[in-house]
Amino acid sequence: MRIDIVTVFPEMVEPVIQCSMLARGQQAGSLQIRAADLRQFTHDRHRTTDDTPFGGGAGMVMKPEPFFEAVEHLREEAGWVPARIVVTTPQGRLFNQQMAVEFAQVPHLILLCGHYEGIDERVCQHLATDELSIGDYVLTGGELPALVIADAVSRLVPGVLGNPESLQQDSFVDGLLAPPQYTRPAEYRGYGVPEVLLSGHHANIARWRRLQQLLRTRERRPDLWQKVSLTPEDIKLLREAEQ
């Protein structure tokens, strides 16, 4: 999979994509991810990427031409394979795990980073396929949201994670939060590990973990809990816990 992050600040992006799982995925050949400097697609000597807004108002608006030309260049470079073109913006849909799974199936993902008062609306209407937000707050630029999206998508690409089975234990895979996890030592400062995890009884451990997912989601994320489809076994586990 190829991911391009189009930005006026590639120096914000490059250190991150050279670390951890993102670096491992690239070394394994499963992932190609890089920062594309938006200023390379300007045609004036000042390499201008923004201008004053029509109709007046404070701040600057990012110009459409560099984004259109950058995307066309990157898509041609990638061989015009199917692509999703994402604008990171507070006005976008809230990014979630299901979207990450969807994007991971596409050969090419292009993330467009806005700044100032935003990007010219023609980019959103006629170039982007998606407008996404990572939360109901405003940041100084789109680089951090783009990196969040790139990271969430990259770890779902085959060959990026060392153990693909760990994906099945993620939060949100089945609409629930992940269960609590423990490791050695079995006791620390008087705090112990639940006995069931030390029992070696895999069926009981699986039941315990499922119950913890249900209880944790119901307590911490009632918005998710309203959407959960409980199985008969789930209902039985909850009744036993309540008793």
Q: Which residues are catalytic?
A: 90, 117, 155, 170
Report yes or no: 48 and 115 within 8 Å, Cβ to Cβ: no
Amino acid at 223: D
Give the integer Cα–Cα distance in Å for 196 and 211.
12
Give the integer Cα–Cα distance in Å for 21 and 154.
8
Give the integer Cα–Cα distance in Å for 238 and 231.
11
Amino acid at 83: A
Residues 6+ apart with CB under 8 A from 21: 151, 154, 155, 160, 161
Nearest to 113 by CA among 71, 57, 76: 71
Phi, psi dihedral angles at 109 (to 5 degrees): -125, 125
Amino acid at 205: I
Amino acid at 228: V
Phi, psi dihedral angles at 141 (to 5 degrees): -170, 175
Phi, psi dihedral angles at 2 (to 5 degrees): -115, 135
